Amino acid sequence: MLDVKTAFLLWATEAGTLAMLLAVVWLRARGEKHYLMFALGFAAHAAGIVLVTFRGQIPDFVSIQVANFTALSAYGFWLSGVRYLDQRPPLSIAAIPSLMWLAGNLLPLVRETFAYRVALYDVAAATGYLMMAAVVTNARFSSDRHRKALIGIWLTQALLNLGFAVAVAINNPANFKEISISGLVGIAGIVGFVGSIAVLAKILMDRSADRLRMLALTDPLTGALNRRGLLDEFETIRSRAGEAKRNVALLVFDLDRFKKINDSHGHQAGNAVLTSFTQSCRSLMPSNACFGRSGGEEFAALLDVTSMHDAVLVAEAIRRTIADKPIAFGGQIIRTTASIGIATLPAAEADFDRLMSGADRALYKAKARGRNRTAVLTGEKVLCVPSSTPQAIDEQADRQVAALRRLQTVASSQQDLYRS
């Protein structure tokens, strides 16, 4: 059987290797701070354990006080890593486990007694596990199953550490060799530790896969869905609309005279216009809608509606907002307008290509009638929505806002029903 020193060195080697691997991953993705925190945690844990193994060969202050403080600081880094993984900032309480070690060693009885130092370390480590479990309880990352697995592992680790602390405090051994259950507790601890690493690795792999999928489905400039993303969302929206006996509407947007904006103000200004347009559309869309960039200055939106009238209200609200909202860029004021084509079909008959073809026909009509207007395909006819007179603008805007709010309420209730 391995002696304690050899076991510590093996464990430190494994932790150090993990730290280096995670550090390399972080260097390739600097924005993913959880990799850095996990790397620092394993590095601190490895460094602390290595210092403990040199007890008797280096000053006791280093092999006891510095070593255990360093090893316990790992829990603070891991806790911060979990917070970053959940896209939240670190907590100041992350330092509690290592601070518990400092506070406990202010007592001479603890500082000068091996058993009490071991018990203090395990209580501090248990606190670290409990804190991580508590953070995961309120987390939003990954699946509920994976989060529950982490919570279960860390609660078990905490109970093991607390039980070990009580046993050591009662038996009062003079060194590690006199701790009869250290081997069993160590094996259980390693199994739990490896288990938590495996679950975290699965979470990180799933997260990377989701990110790659999102990159494949979104437009890098605007963050809106690309055509492939719209196609994927179409099936979800059609299914939801079918269950509610509603229609699927496709809105196609084209920024008027966009080439002139690029030629007059430059491509950076054009990009700013595209980004601003995307933000405006998203802010005005019902929550059950999806919005994407189909190419160049063309965009599209999918939503489930009760009637064509609902889709027209959304389109007109967007068209009017774009026309009334100049964009400031590089000391320039850029004005733009949008033409919109709309097609709807009952969910049971909805086909993406058919909707796109119909919406394109309507868009062509809107362009031909002078741009900055909305056109709808009704049956085989394309009709342009009349532009409001100046006197009717305020009244119509109020009606559109009220209607959009009703749409938002209906969309939210539909999503709740769909999820249940």
- Per-residue pLDDT tens over the stretch 232-248: 999 999 999 988 889 99
115-162: pLDDT as tens digits:
999 999 999 999 999 999 999 999 998 889 999 999 999 999 999 999
CA distances from 218 to 77, 229, 383 (A): 33, 6, 32
375 and 317 in a common domain = yes
352 and 325 in a common domain = yes
144 and 21 in a common domain = yes
Assessment of whether the complete model's pTM goes beyond 0.75: no
Name the residue with tokens 């403080």.
69
| Sequential DSSP letters for 15-58 | HHHHHHHHHHHHHH-TT-HHHHHHHHHHHHHHHHHHHHHTBTTB
Contact 224, 218 (CB under 8 A): yes
354-372: pLDDT as tens digits:
999 999 999 999 999 999 9
115, containing H or E segment: helix 114-137
**Domain hosting residue 132, numbered range:** 4-217
* Close Cβ partners of 305 (under 8 Å, ≥ 6 residues apart): 246, 247, 248, 249, 311, 344, 407
**CA dihedral of residues 328, 330, 334, 338 (deg, nearest 10):** -80
**Residue 342's pLDDT is what?**
97
Assign 159 to helix, strand or coil: helix
* 400 domain residue, yes or no: yes
Q: For residue 62, give the DSSP letter.
A: I
* 362 domain residue, yes or no: yes
Indicate which CATH number applies to the domain containing 293: 3.30.70.270
Measuring CA to CA, which residue among 44, 42, 46 is closest to residue 9?
A: 46
CA distances from 323 to 152, 259, 267, 328, 402 (A): 55, 17, 20, 14, 20
Q: How many domains in the chain? A: 2
175 and 266 in a common domain = no
pLDDT band at 390 (very low <50, low <70, confident <90, very high): very low
